[in-house]
Copies of this chain bind each other. A is one copy, B any other.
Amino acid sequence: MEAGGAGNGSNGAAQTKGSGGDGSTKTPPPLPPCCVKARAAAPESEAKCHATVVSGWFTEPRSHCGKASKVQYYNNPMWPGEAHSLKVEKILYQGKSPYQEVLVFESSTYGKVLVLDGIVQLTDKDECAYQEMITHLPLCSIPSPKKVLVIGGGDGGVLREISRHSSVESIDICEIDQLVIDICKDFFPHLSVGFEDPRVQLHVGDAVEFLRNAPEGTYDAIIVDSSDPIGPAQELVEKPFFETIARALRPGGVLCNQAESMWLHTHLIQDMLSICRETFKGSVRYAWTSVPTYPSGVIGFLLCAKEGPPVNFLTPINPIEKVEGATKAGREIRFYNSEMHRAAFVLPTFAKRELEAYCAST
């Protein structure tokens, strides 16, 4: 859930385009309930304020500040009715870019924490689960990935994981917010180390624009390490965005997209699955993993293969244990392994039932 390269703030390039802004004027199809909720609440989430630290605790998220009422202490449209709090040892950084507010603090239990616009993006303790899974699920599903694109991911964690793959020749990253990159170099060097790989080409800017300018069929894999689909980032879950991604992938190329929680956002996931099956035409699958500091303690991933050489996401064809140098000392893998890869696609009965129609394509 890193800063969305396609705009994650109130003044970003993407915002001028608005939701679904690809020039299309046709009426959008009816939205499932959770999407409606996300949209309805968007103006509220734009009332920017610094993440709140009260009495030594950070609570995610507080939408109203300034004229903060004690009653509306927690209020996020993506996960209404619950909140997670972390004890703060020390605030390390508070700042504001043109796109978002940035907070870094040292927590008692999860190490350092990066917060953007009041939402926890990563913590030292559990970042491994997110960064490793969002990277190796796609890269271990295809043989010899060579050209990879990261959208968002300004903390560098996904880059760090991609660089374990010796077959990779070039890594483009398109992150809109230079401040996120700079702050992570200061406070999260074990993530931003990913930028030191000579294969990395950094593009600071709007990802939708970047994708439009990318030559067709360029990438073996694209990883979208985006923010939640509220406000400007809403377009990151809509058809035009996925079409731009599909265009930039080679036949049989793969996308891994952050895809929220199976406990909280089944309708949003159904919607994304349905759009992606139409768009990519290859295998489309939902996987999930445990990340304690994300809402409901899990995060999902949408894995999509473009029409072409078939991809079977369920079994890693390029197992990390056999990638030369991938697990060498100094860059220990903490969460992912080939068994976790397979297990990530196993769904609880309720999720299987709700997503089955959308998951049928293998």
Contacts and interface: CB of A to CB of B under 8 A. Distances in A.
Contacts of A59: 85
Contacts of A70: 55
Contacts of A295: 292
A190 interface: no
Contacts of A343: 342-343, 346
A210 interface: no
A336 interface: yes
Given A80-B108, A292-B298, A337 B350 contact: no
Interface string A285-314: 000101110111110000000000000000
Interface string A240-253: 00000000000000
Nearest to A332: B349
Contact of A86 (B82, B109, B292, B336): B82
A317 interface: no
Contacts of A347: 339-340
A347 B290 CA distance: 11
A212 interface: no
Given A297-B296, A337-B349, A81 B107 contact: yes
A80 B109 contact: yes
Interface in A60-85: 70-71, 73-74, 79-85
Contact of A82 (B84, B129, B264): B84
20 contacts: A55-B70, A55-B73, A57-B73, A57-B74, A74-B85, A80-B108, A81-B110, A83-B84, A84-B84, A109-B264, A264-B292, A288-B290, A290-B297, A291-B297, A294-B297, A334-B348, A336-B349, A342-B343, A342-B346, A343-B343
A343 B289 CA distance: 12
B126 A263 contact: yes
Nearest to A350: B334
Nearest to A261: B292
Nearest to A294: B297
A346 B339 contact: yes
A164 to B, nearest CB: 13
A28 B85 CA distance: 35
Interface in A303-362: 333-337, 339-340, 342-343, 346-350, 352
A269 to B, nearest CB: 15
A273 to B, nearest CB: 19
Contacts of A74: 57, 85, 87
